[in-house]
Each structure stands twice: as structure tokens, then as C-alpha cells.
Amino acid sequence: MKVNKTIIIGFLFILFAGIIFVTDIFNPIIRPITYLFLMGSSKGKDIIFFGLLGLFLILSQMFNRKSDDEKYLKISIILGGVLLISGILLEVIFRLQLGIGLNTVFCSMGKSMTSTSILHTHLLKSIFGGVLVNLLGPVIGNGINTGVGLYHYVPTFGFLVILLLPVLFITIVLSSQKRPWPTNFLLAFFSSCLLIGILDGGMFATPSYVGIIGLLLVYRNGYYINYILGRILNDEKLLEQNRLNPPIYGKYRPHDIKYLFNRFLVWFVLILFILLRFTIAFAGAETDYYTVDVVNPTGNIDLGNISVKVIDNETSLNKITYHIDPSYNEMELINDLKVPLNNSCEYYTVSWNVHSYFE
């Protein structure tokens, strides 16, 4: 593997990830940027993103010979989709096992408060985080949420699903060999987002959208991305390299239905993802009040300044149910509850109210 500009840039990204790990000095600069595509960016996400971005760029120069990159990219898209769908299935199985609603946010109050829901799952993250904690222990900083509080709730099926992650990583590396530099960088960027989204958020999370749609964009329209940039930059080397990689639907004429379908399929998929996400969120919303179930309380609970409408103490089920004013922002309520409920219960659930984000 000969050192070139791509490898040097990759090492710089990895070095930057290491700097973020040991200091917060760059947070005010990078956090507003990474927040846009990592959905609630955190120190842990930023470190993993820049580390993966650099690693993918370096590994894209691993082989001297070009592999069947389009075949491996197609496999990567399929594997990514399987992992995202499996994350949702895990959430459904996990909730059926515990007997809790599908339209709720589950908050574990174990070693640290960790939440998960169908709209933003952390179940696969908890498996990965559990492995990291066992391997690295105290090396992991306080700013990194590993999700281990959910670890013992994950269905056995989840431990099999997580094995697909290294397979996906390998197929992504094989799909990026000797590509033109614009699509090579985009593939590294989108792949980093996809891996983060699979572990932290799942199918309906922003990095998952960016990742899976981005891979599909490179697969379907990579030729045109390289061509446009080659023309803008007057880069003959890029244009020549791109001629050797025509689009998979290049045999069709531009006005043919099959050509238009293949060229613009990625945007239809994106719209479908967004519509599905909002349909589920609004269909499962509870607008009259928040239903908060506190399970296995350890003593008297005082919710402080949180406005409670109704309290139903189901002693036979060892559960207390609260109805809380719907004027609260959903995320703020979930975070506010963890203070009075800390060390006071096994877990609690909060019903969805997506409308609260628009008030």
C-alpha cells in the first residue's frame, strides 16, 4: 500500500479523532456541523465519525488491483438495510417480552440512564458498548454514552445481528477500492454515518438516512458526481478515470423510463423513508397527556416541579402510572424525569408526543 494524498488525509482524520478524545477545545466548532448529519451529535459520535472516516479513506487504498466495487457496494446497501430493519425488529421483540407499548420511550435506570425507542433505538449500541466497556474499561471517557444500561434487556437475536457489522465493514472496504477521489470520499463519509446510525438511532435516525441513501446515491449516480466535479475542476485525470466506470444503467437512453427510474430512484427512497418515519411518529402520538410508567419503584417518589395530572399505583404489578401535562417537550420531560427517578426504580417508560416538538 503506497502512501498517497488519500492515506495522508485519512491519518489526519484519525489524528483529529484522537484530539477530540483528549480535549473538548474543538467542540464549539465541530459540534454545530456534525449535529446536522449525526442527529444530536455527542463527543462519542464525533470521535467515532472522524475515526471511521479516516480509516475508510486509508483502507480504500489497500489493494493495488481494482475489485468488483459495484457488486460489493450493492451487498453493503443490502446488509445496511438488513441491520436497520433488524434494529426495529429487536425493539418490537424486546417490548413484547416486557409487555410495554410500542409507542413509548423506554428508559433504563441501571448504572446510567439509557433510553431507547422504535424511532431511536439503542439496543445494538448497548451490545457494542458492553464489549467496549469489557475491553477498554476506564479508558472510555465520561462524555461517551455506551448504552450499557440496556445490555441485559437485549433479546438473544440481537447478539447474532451484531455479527453482521464486521461483514458490512469488510464489504464497504472492498467496494471503495481505487474509486475516483470524489466518490471515494463520499463513500467513506456515508459509510461512517451508516455505521453510527445502525448503532445509535436505527432505521429512523438521521445518520442512518444519510448513510443508506448516500450509499445508494454513489451506487446509482456516482458516475455523474465524478463527471460534474471533473468538468468544474477541469480535471482530465478524474474524467478519464470516470470513463472507465460508466453507470450500471448506461445502456439506456436518457429519456427512457428505465434510465429515469434508475437515476432518480434514490430520491424516491429518501421520500419514502421520511414519510414512514413521520407516519409512525404521528400515528403513535398520545396528545392528551404523557403516560409515564415507573416500574419496580424502590420507595416514595417525588417528581418535584413536574405537573402530574393522575397517579395510578398498581401495587399488584409493582408499577406507578403518572399522567403528565402534554405541554412539556418530550425530550425535556424524559431528561427531567431521570433526576427524581435516579436510583428509585428499575426503569420507566414515556409515551410519544411528536407534536411537542412543534409547539
What is the structure's pLDDT at 286?
A: 87
Asked if residues 147 and 154 have their Cβ atoms less than 8 Å apart, the reply is no
Q: Which of 82, 199, 188 is nearest to 132 (CA)?
A: 199
The Cα–Cα gap between 44 and 96 comes to: 30
Cα distances from 153 to residues 26, 126, 129, 159, in angstroms, run 36, 9, 14, 12
Q: pLDDT confidence of 74, banded at 50, 70, 90? A: very high
Secondary structure letter of residue 68 according to DSSP: -
Q: Which tens digits make up the pLDDT trace of 269-326?
A: 889 988 998 899 888 888 888 999 999 888 778 888 888 877 877 655 688 889 998 8
Asked if residues 181 and 222 have their Cβ atoms less than 8 Å apart, the reply is no
- A 10 A CB-CB count for 275 gives 10
Q: Is the dihedral of CA 158, 202, 216, 259 positive or negative?
A: positive
- A 10 A CB-CB count for 352 gives 25
Cα distances from 295 to residues 45, 93, 132, 144, 154, in angstroms, run 30, 19, 29, 27, 18
Beta bridge partners of 264: none
Cα distances from 281 to residues 132, 175, 223, 286, in angstroms, run 32, 35, 36, 10
Cα distances from 293 to residues 98, 217, 296, 351, in angstroms, run 13, 43, 10, 9
Higher pLDDT, 318 or 82: 82
Q: Which tens digits make up the pLDDT trace of 134-152?
A: 555 555 555 556 667 788 8
Q: Mean pLDDT of all residues in the chain?
A: 85
Instruction: With a cut of 80, say whether residue 86 has pLDDT above it.
Output: yes
Percent of the chain with pLDDT over 90: 36
Asked if residues 104 and 352 have their Cβ atoms less than 8 Å apart, the reply is yes
Q: pLDDT confidence of 259, banded at 50, 70, 90? A: confident
Q: Is the dihedral of CA 286, 287, 292, 293 positive or negative?
A: negative
Q: pLDDT confidence of 88, banded at 50, 70, 90? A: very high
What is the structure's pLDDT at 310?
A: 75
Beta bridge partners of 116: 106
pTM score, whole prediction = 0.89
Q: pLDDT confidence of 246, banded at 50, 70, 90? A: confident
What is the structure's pLDDT at 109?
A: 84
* Helix, strand and coil percent figures for the chain, each rounded to 5: 60, 10, 30
Q: How many Cα atoms are found within 13 Å in the side-chain-facing hemisphere of 351? A: 21
Higher pLDDT, 209 or 258: 209
For the segment 98-127, the average pLDDT, to the nearest whole number, is: 88
Instruction: With a cut of 80, say whether residue 29 has pLDDT above it.
Output: yes
- A 10 A CB-CB count for 118 gives 24
What is the structure's pLDDT at 21?
A: 87
Higher pLDDT, 189 or 27: 189
